[in-house]
Amino acid sequence: MTTTITHAGGVITPTSMPGWDARADLRSIVHTIMGRSDPDITRRPTGMRRGTLTLVFESGAAAYAARSILAVTQPLDLGNPSVGQVTMRFIVAGNELGEVIEDAGQWVLSVPFQEIAS
């Protein structure tokens, strides 16, 4: 099935999404206590996913059009009916939005993301 990114003005449909590098911060804190063998623990919920999506497009025009939409700060919805685990609401956030790169006739875009609450 097809991966889609839905935004306020429509839908981005890459040819494929071969890269999905997602991580979540573990926020619990372990406190070492002098004179005790067991630590105290401050339990906190795990953070939401963040990472990088790699999107492939069949043309440079489609890749650059997607890049211009993704460069606008807005909530986006990622979905793929075949892989429900990647479904999320996110914003493009991080250090930098990748430049479109042509690789063997495919146009590749690297997108840093931060998952947000629905």
E strand residue ranges, the chain: 4-7, 10-12, 16-24, 29-31, 40-42, 49-57, 76-79, 88-92, 101-103, 106-116
Per-position pLDDT tens, the chain of length 118: 689 999 999 999 999 998 888 999 999 999 999 999 999 999 999 999 999 999 999 999 999 999 999 999 999 999 988 888 889 999 999 878 888 888 788 899 999 999 999 7
User: pTM for the full model?
Assistant: 0.85
- 33, 41 contact by CB (below 8 A): no
- 16, 80 contact by CB (below 8 A): no
